[in-house]
Amino acid sequence: MQRCKQCDSPLAKSDLACINCGEAIKPVKTKPDFRKKFGKLVTVLFILSAALTVVALFTSYVGSFITLLAATIVLLMVKKSADEMSSSEQ
């Protein structure tokens, strides 16, 4: 059984992140491109969200514009941290 590097709590093989502290876990048989895939997914979501934000800007749905803007900012931060993770991996 593997344990979390951060808090030393036992982990299930299928876990991708620690249940206790949320630390990302490297599975024993890890897909090497997992982080790249995750980064791509976040990038796609970010572009979609940004596009929808622009659309909302030109419509009268101000409420959804603020929601989409918030989602875009969150995705931007996730994307940035994902990029940092993948670059530190190399």
C-alpha dist (Å) from residue 80 to 33, 35, 46, 73, 89: 17, 12, 11, 11, 14
Q: Could you say which of 12, 16, 17, 21 contacts Zn ion (CB under 5 A)?
A: 21
Q: Could you say which of 4, 25, 42, 56 contacts Zn ion (CB under 5 A)?
A: 4
Shortest distance, CB of residue 12 to Zn ion, whole angstroms?
A: 12
Whose Cβ is closer to Zn ion: residue 4's or residue 42's? 4
Counting Cβ atoms within 10 Å, is residue 83 exposed (0-12), middle (13-18) or buried (19+)?
middle
Which residue ranges make up the site for Zn ion (CB under 5 A)? Answer: 4, 6-7, 18, 20-21, 23
